[in-house]
Structures are given as C-alpha cells and as structure tokens.
Structure 1
Amino acid sequence: MHSNSTNGPEDDPVLTTSAAARLLGVATSTVQQWMESGAIDSWKTPGGHRRTRLSRIARLLEPAGAVQAVAAAMSAVTAAEFQATAAPAYPVGRDEATRLVALAASGLIDSPAEARFDRIVRLAAAVTGSPIALISLLTAERQWFKARVGLEAQQTPREWAFCSHAILEHQPFVVEDASADARFAGNPLVQEDPRIRFYAGVPLRDGAGNALGTLCVIDREPRKLRAAELQGLLDLAAIAMEELPAPPHGARNEGS
C-alpha cells in the first residue's frame, strides 16, 4: 500500500514525480507509472498528484537501480506482493524494499519446476540426512518453494517462514530445536505438520547481493549438522546461486 508521508524528517524531502524523474534519468510519465504500480512507494496529494520521498528514490539509484523498478512494475504478479509491508509480522532488513523489487525482476515466483533446482534440493536432503529440503523464495506475503523434497505444501504465509530470519544473515542460520526457541516455539510449522524441530538455511543471493530466499534443510527431530554436512549445504547453495537469473542492474546491494 502507498504511504501518505507528508510529514517527515527535514533531510528526507518530498519529491514531485518530475523531480524523481530527473534524479532517475527517465520520463515523468514513466515515474508516474512506477508509482501507480507500487514499484516506487508514494502517496497522492489532495489534488491527486503523486509524491514520494528522496530516500525512496535513493534506494533505486544506489542499491538496485531503476531498471529493477521497471521490471517490478511490469511484473505479472500483483504489485502488493512485492511491496514492503509497513509493519511486518516477521523480521526484515533495511534493504527489504530493494530485495522485493529484485525478486519480482527475477521472474522466479510461480515459475514452473526446473530440474536444475530439483536436483539441488534432492542433494541437500541426501548430504545432510534431512527428510525435507527446500529452495524457498520470500515475497512480502508468502514463502514460495521453487523446489522441494519431503514436503507437500507449495507455500506458506511469510510470517511462518524461518527463512525470514535466514536471509538477514551472511552465514548459515541454524536452529537446533525450534520447540525450545522462543522465536519459533509457537510457529504453526512447529506446532503442526511438518512439526519442524531442526532448521538450517543458507541465503541465496543474486549477482547484486539481494537475498531472494534460501536453500534450507529441515528435520522433525532436534539435531546438529556435522562439519561435512554443513559444507555440503554451503556448496549446494553456491551452485543454486549460480543458477539464479542475473539481476537487470549491476550495482551491488550493500544493505541488510
């Protein structure tokens, strides 16, 4: 949803569509379209004109680039799914808006199954001795599985996703016993099927550094990973990252 932010810090001024267009180096009509689609967070004045803030344009200029905003605006998936939530019920990094734009631009969400990713999750389950392995992608609304083994569900609500914690890290995120962890003990995925106890996830970052999701393994019993199992998971995550679509802009995302 668009935020009406007429009041804000003096160092984050309000911009008109034409001012935003000059900064981005595109036509005013193009910025108007991006604002209407939700690719650029904005609000309407009483007179019906779109406004945004400098910080929102700076996020496009520096970490991801306007090209990714175009891709998000033209995405066949609803804009809301790729628009950062104002008060999410899950942890997010400061680059969440950029990350969601990059995910939309990747075209991976709701794409058909692919053998290259299916092989990776089968190998992840095998090398770690885990009954469940997933390539999980995180929109603002859901956790969607590009590839999965040992789990029937194709997706879950985003607020249930252990992977929301994992994508904030630059190293493996491991939960040895979810039922004893205050962050997850009440989670429906712990309380009910598949009754997660053990989780290990590695962030999957595109070429610009955006964490689109994770490669993760899950067990129904508390456990630890041996060093060789963890290394195998890391190696497979590296392979998965090589298979991700190239981002449409070369600038690196330093956020999170």
Structure 2
Amino acid sequence: MTKQDDPILTTRDVAARLGVSVKTAQTWIEQGQIESWKTPGGHRRVRASAVDALREQLGNRRPASNQAENAVALVVASGAALPSYVEAAAAAGLRAIGQSDPLNAMLDAGIAMPAVIAVELMRGDWERLSMCRRLLHSRDLAHMRMLLVTDMPAAQLEADLGGLSRIALLPAPADKPAFAAALVACLSLAPSRDQDALPYPVAANEAARLRAVERTGLVDSASDPEFDEVVQLTAETLRVPISLITLLTPDRQWFKARWGLNAHETPRSWAFCNFTVMQNDAFVVEDATADPRFEANPLVTDEPRIRFYAGAPLRDAEGNALGALCAIDRQPRVMDATQKRRLANLAALASNRIALVTRKRLDRWNRGA
C-alpha cells in the first residue's frame, strides 16, 4: 500500500472516520487502541489503515441479533442505582455493562456497540443529557435504542434530543421488574433495516451515498461564510423566508448552512430532502398540507410550519447526492421554470464548494497536515 493509499490523519480526521467525538478519538489513541506517533510539534498522527482496522474490529462486535438473549445493554446510572439496574438487565437475559461516568460510557458504547443503552437521566444532569445526544447522533450507533429512566417530561426530552423514535421512557425511580421489562420492550424500537418499511424513499446506492457524505467532513462542522452566502442568496433570489443546505446522515438531516431558521438539524424521517436526493432536477411541494406524504410531518404541523418546499440535490464530484439546497415558505406557492433553473444553478454553486472543501481535506490527509 502506498502512502497515497494510506493517508496520514489528524485526531479530528480519526473522529470523523470513526463517527465518534474528538475526545473519544483522543482517548483511544492515547490508550494505544490506534497506533500513532507524535510530530515534532507534539501532535498525534495516525495512518488511515490503523483507523480502518479498528473500525472493522468495532463493526464485528455489533450484536448479531435483536433478541434480548444475544444483546448487549449498556447501563449508565448513579453509583447508588447502578448495581440494581445492572442486575435487572442481566436477569432480563441481556449482557449488561455498567457505567456511572458519561465519558467512560461513551467509550464503552463505541467498543461494545450495545443494542440498547439505558440511562438514568434526571433534571439538571446536563452531562448525561449531552452524552445521550451524542450517542443518538453517532453514525455507528444507528442500530441502538435507548431507555431513559427519568423525571423529565417527554416534551422537554423531545426538544433536547430531537425526537423520541428510538427512545423509551420509564418514570424514575424504577424498580427492578419495571426496569427489566422496559429494557426488553425497548428492543422492539429498532429502526427498520427493511427499506420498504421506512417512511421515506432510499436509493439503491444509499451505502455509497452515506460514505460520500462522511468523506466531505462537513457534518457537525463549524459554520462557513461560503455556504452561508449561498443560503442567503437563495432566500433573496427566490424571495423565501427560509433557505437551507442540508446533509443526510443515516438518522439526521443536518444543516450545514441555514437562513431564517434557528434549528441545526432534524430527524432524517422528517426531511423533505429525502425525496430531493432521489432525482436530478428540482423537487417541489406547493402546499405540504395538501400532500399526503407531508401533511402529518412535524415540520408542517408545528414550527416552522412548512407549506412550500423546493429543493435541488447537492452532489459530490462522483455524482453522489449528499443532501439538498432548499427554499421554504410558510405560505403555499407555485414555482415557475425560471425559478427552478435559478435554484438548480445555486445548488450547482453549493455542490462545487462542497467538492472544493472535500478535495482540500483529502489533500491535507495525503500531506499529513
């Protein structure tokens, strides 16, 4: 293997490649789970082959079955409650791992790939809430379900975690029988691997598309004036209050740039852009309340109360659809041919900027920067 085929990665690159936080990647490198060396400036560097070897190792540790007797359960709770919950999980037939520290729990989750994670989450516990959010957003834990033993209302949790489709709630405090039963029931919340059962269309090359999204390194990156400029220009050109550059991950619609909207992301199941990436030209919904595909969508029934949507796919240099440039209005409207052409041109501009960012990132890998 040549150096070009096996590029040098920074710690941040390692985190992106494995779908974990930078802190987790740093810990794994320092623990020797990924072979590394230090530059004269004291920065850790890693070969891509070492990262890929660990990723394959982690993938082989995923549960082979959704049945409780073959599943791993990670239990995160206070020191006082942890022994009881671990015993309950074991009594339910799961292979239980107990942890009280949120950081160590994230490390254990990355190594064990549990089928279900049970978390004692009480009001004001921001560290565990942040941990839950990170675990739910992890690409490698897209198979995972979560049980929250909590005193927080469902509405607050949904606002904090971005949807409860993979989460079961159990009022705190919980006794052993209730906890064990809730864990087993939580296993039935698995996201379906059957594409026909998903509430949105998925392309035949979805796996390659997701790898292309990962390759950009843009998901969860900081705001960038070059992309912010595109959504502002789109909103002004098409005279809409909201414009977004979206990227579709396995379970999220993440906004690389946004105009007129405060949210940073939505669950993927809510994304109009699922339909946009399936075609070559603009996808237009003139009135979402009159479209059976979207009339019950939370983005339609609640804020931002989408009525009009127009999206054009964003593609990488190989033609993979990464997400969309979309224009949104709170009022129904019609889009003419000229406006569709302008949206397509702006999407091409955004695609070119994505391709440039991706190329620069790959060049940095090859130089070991």
Q: Place the TM-score, normalised by the shorter chain, in its bin.
A: 0.5 to 0.7
Aligned residues: 191
Give me the whole-angstrom Cα distance separating, in 2, the residues matched to 1:233 and 1:187. Answer: 24
1:80 aligns with 2:140: yes
Matches within 5 A, 1:89-104: 89-104=199-214
**How far apart are the structure 2 equivalents of 1:152 and 1:178?**
21
Alignment partner of 2:344 out of 220, 231, 234: 234
Task: Quote the offset at 1:42 in angstroms.
Answer: 8.3
| Map 1:137-156 → 2, pairs under 5 A | 137-156=247-266
Alpha-carbon shift at residue 102 of structure 1 (Å): 1.2
Unmatched 5+ stretches in structure 1: 1-26, 46-76, 250-256
Match of 2:184 in 1: none
Cα RMSD for the two superposed structures: 2.9
CA distance in 2, matches of 1:216, 1:178: 14
**8 A contact 1:203–1:211 mirrored in 2:** yes
Segments of 4+ in structure 1 off by > 3 A? 29-34, 40-45, 81-85, 245-249
Give 5+ residue unaligned stretches, structure 2: 1-48, 66-136, 144-190, 363-369
1:190 matched residue in structure 2: 300
Output the amino acid matched with 1:116. E
Partner secondary structure for residue 35 of structure 1: helix
Q: 1:111-190 maps to which residues of 2 (within 5 A)?
A: 111-190=221-300
Residue 331 of structure 2: aligned partner = 221
Q: Distance in 1 between matches of 2:265 and 2:138?
A: 17
Structure 1 partner of 2:54: 33
User: Distance in 2 between the 1:115 and 1:81 partners?
Assistant: 31
Cα deviation per residue 1:73-103 (whole Å; 9 max; x = unaligned)? xxxx834268896134432101111111111
The sequence identity of aligned pairs, in percent, is 45
| SS of structure 2 residue aligned to 1:118 | helix
Quote the offset at 1:207 in angstroms: 0.3
Partner of 1:242: helix, strand, or coil? helix
CA distance 1:142–1:217, change in 2 (3 Å): same
Distance 1:235 1:128 in 2: 12
Q: TM-score, normalised by structure 2?
A: 0.47
CA distance in 2, matches of 1:239, 1:216: 13
Give the Å deviation of 1:197. 0.7
Bigger helix fraction: 2
Q: Distance in 2 between matches of 1:118 and 1:152?
A: 13
Task: Quote the Cα distance in structure 1 between the aligned partners of 2:266 and 2:339.
Answer: 26
- Distance in 2 between residues matched to 1:157 and 1:143, nearest whole Å: 6
Cα distance, 1:243–1:31 mapped onto 2, change above 3 Å: closer
Give the TM-score, by structure 1 length: 0.67
Larger Rg: 2
**Secondary structure, aligned partner of 1:233:** helix
Shift of 1:225: 1.4
Give the deviation of 1:163 after TM superposition: 0.3
User: Cα gap change, 1:30/1:215 in structure 2, threshold over 3 Å: closer, same or farther?
Assistant: closer
Q: What SS does the aligned partner of 2:230 have?
A: helix
Residues 32, 82 of structure 1: alpha-carbon distance in 2 compared, 3 angstrom cutoff: same
SS where residue 101 of structure 1 aligns?
helix
Task: State which of 203, 208, 229 in structure 1 corresponds to 2:313.
Answer: 203
Per chain length, whose mean CA-contact separation is higher, i.e. which structure has more relative contact order (CA < 8 Å, sep 6+)?
A: 1
Specify whether residues 43 and 35 from structure 1 end up closer, same or farther in structure 2 by C-alpha distance, changes over 3 A only.
farther
Q: 1:203 to 1:173 in 2, by over 3 A?
A: same
Letter of the structure 2 residue corresponding to residue 233 of structure 1: L
Change in CA separation of 1:44 and 1:180 when aligned onto 2, cut-off 3 Å: closer
